[in-house]
Amino acid sequence: MTQPKKLFIKTYGCQMNVYDSERMSEALGGEGYVTTDRPDDADMILLNTCHIRERAAEKVYSELGRYKSLKAEKPDLKIGVAGCVAQAEGEEIMRRQPMVDLVVGPQSYHRLPELAARAGAGAKALDTEFPEEDKFAHLAARPKAARGPTAFLTVQEGCDKFCAFCVVPYTRGAEVSRPADRVIAEAHDLVKRGVREITLLGQNVNAYHGHEGGLAGLIHALAEIDGLLRIRFTTSHPNDMDDALIAAHGECEKLMPYLHLPVQAGSDRILKRMNRQHTAEEYVRLIERLRAARPDLHLSGDFIVGFPEETEEDFQATLDLIDEVRYGSAFSFKYSTRPGTPAAERDQLSEEVKDERLQRLQALLVKHQRAAQDAMVGREVGVLFEKPGRFAGQMVGKSDHLHAVHVAADGIAPGDLRRVRIVESGPNSLMGELVTL
């Protein structure tokens, strides 16, 4: 009997890469690979990379360097690089690291079995094209193994916005949407395998147009699936938040009261330089409409500090916007250059200025995050339990608002959705007790 080959995948970056890694694993599963969590036990190592963060490519080269001795010990070991760094660097990866056997961009991973076969035959395999065919339509059907209670589901890819700081349009390509019938079929399959909450993914997920009703229409269609208890979506662009999607937050019971809506800056001058194509005032008015539709909406955002030419006045405008919106959570970063993007060619701020501003911004965000968590004490929320906690008899799950909630109670299993009263607010999570009905 032939022994299965073992695949180790290391995933960098966003939820879309997590989803992509799952699908790459499934694609190679049809070729006899099974996953392992040990690189030294693998027949193939695949790095699924992200190009968003600082020095992303150098981190990949550093990681590859760690596998040189392993490759020397196991000459038949195949090493691949996938994802956005693969798309951006292409042949340069193989030039700098000759031990790499295959390089595949994020739009071509449905071709992994063919590339792996070529690598297995001793040839170098490179595919960073933007193929015309729909990669999702060419992927093998997902295996029927049981799943945990939550899952990601990519519905949209690419970006047409061309923000001055971002490489996504160059690494993921133009905006494309998966047909609604295929998304709904995949959702049905996930629910049959135990999934109770689905997060719809896209670089600009609210630009989805695979359903005649847009993303709102898709959400309403998914809400009809028996056994699917919760729906979320991320990441959105303010300019694609249409009336129907705003209304869905108040109309669709299964759509959770959580929204990640990046703004990046609070200064109109910087927003224009970023090519965000909206003003701070337009963003704030949009938030008001969303909160009118769903008053308990938990808001999350992204912020970049130290963008080229950002003045102290510009930065203060960002702090003022944060105070006005009162985010329940947020992600914040120092600006770092991305070769090939317009902002990379502009005058850069010093690292000292960036560091100081980031500390001030994060302190303000933490203040609002703590206030939002503390305000949950005494409230009842739904909690979808996912796994045991650190202590015996404890389970951990996510609230409607995506807070981690710890509950000490017997008889709770992963996938249970229960009403919980919040009794304590911790630094990064909440404590609750089951509500007896």
Which residues are annotated binding-site positions for [4Fe-4S] cluster? 14, 50, 84, 159, 163, 166
**Cβ-Cβ contacts under 8 Å for 90 (sequence gap 6 or more):** 103, 126, 128
Name the binding residues.
14, 50, 84, 159, 163, 166
The Cβ of residue 158 has, within 10 Å, a number of other Cβ atoms equal to 20
**Cβ-Cβ contacts under 8 Å for 424 (sequence gap 6 or more):** 377, 430, 431
Read off φ and ψ for residue 117, nearest 5 degrees. Answer: -65, -40
**Cβ-Cβ contacts under 8 Å for 307 (sequence gap 6 or more):** 165, 265, 270, 273, 274, 335, 343, 349
- Between helix 351-374 and helix 312-325 the angle, nearest 10°, is 10
Residue 54: both structure tokens together:
């600082």
What is the Cα gyration radius of the chain? 23
Place of tokens 């001793």: 122
